[in-house]
Amino acid sequence: MQVLGIDIGGSGIKGAPVDVGTGELVAKRHRIPTPQPPTPDTVADVVAQLVRHFDWTGRVGITFPGVVAHGVIGTAANLAPSFVGVDAHALFTKATGRPVTVLNDADAAGVAELRYGAGKARPGVVLLLTFGTGIGSALFADGTLVPNTEFGHLEIDGHDAERHASAAARERADQSWTHWARHHVRRYLERVVALLSPQLVIVGGGVSKKADKFLPELAGLGTEIVPAELRNQAGIVGAALAAGAH
């Protein structure tokens, strides 16, 4: 079974058809920059462009960088505030003319990593963190997802953790991978590990392909920390999996 997965991010919106039996992309990923301003109408238009690009006629899974409860957007930290309260299922169904499933972006990435990647067959508490424009989180207990955790917004020094520990924060401050990991990511992970006591932390998002540059700085935190195996494709794969389950 093939499903089109679309991953909405703060800087880009990307998609590809996915074989949900294997977790593999069956066509080259296509990416379009996130429109500015990123309002419901402009983002929905890009999603529709991706559907047309693949000439897609089946189900579509879509991730959103914020809380999604019963298809309704609850938060939109890195997109337009006007998204809050929007029925995302209705918005994207109307824009694409296709049956859609919408879920939190990090939750989607986590579902994919637990099915096909670094969290496969891992029992206990597993936490996936995506470092990108912000910090996304997906928490699992014995393979069961606790949705919409949003641990990137934990307060550290009076600010959301993602203000200093996201990948975008590293780029804004022109920090080395070592400085960013040692002074910001490590401090953030110390807080998260103390709160949740995970047996495994999976580091995802675009930074996962650079894991060798910063993961050594995160040793000794009392839990196993590994890079995501699906890397930045995890959101697309997880979105397709979620839609394929409906």
Displacement of CA 219 from its chain's centroid (Å): 24
Structural domain span for residue 208: 120-229
Both tokens of 191, joined, read 């807080």
Examine the domain organization and report whether 100 and 137 are in the same domain: no
Examine the domain organization and report whether 135 and 158 are in the same domain: yes
CATH assignment of the domain containing 195? 3.30.420.40
CA distance 19 to 16: 10
pTM: 0.94
Residue 133: its pLDDT value, please? Answer: 87
What is the distance between the terminal CA atoms of the chain, rounded to a whole angstrom? 12
35 upstream amide cis, omega within 30 of 0: no
Examine the domain organization and report whether 166 and 150 are in the same domain: yes
Name all contacts of 24-33 with Cβ < 8 Å and 24+ positions apart: 25/233, 25/236, 25/237, 26/2, 27/54, 29/233, 29/236, 30/54
Both tokens of 80, joined, read 């337009």
Please list, in sequence order, all residues whose beta carbon lies within 8 angstroms of the beta carbon of residue 62, skipping any fewer than 6 positions away.
5, 6, 8, 47, 88, 92, 100, 101, 102, 103, 239, 243
114 domain residue, yes or no? no
- Which residues in the chain come in under a pLDDT of 70? none
Examine the domain organization and report whether 85 and 154 are in the same domain: no
CA distance 66 to 84: 9
Residue 206: its pLDDT value, please? Answer: 85
112 domain residue, yes or no? no
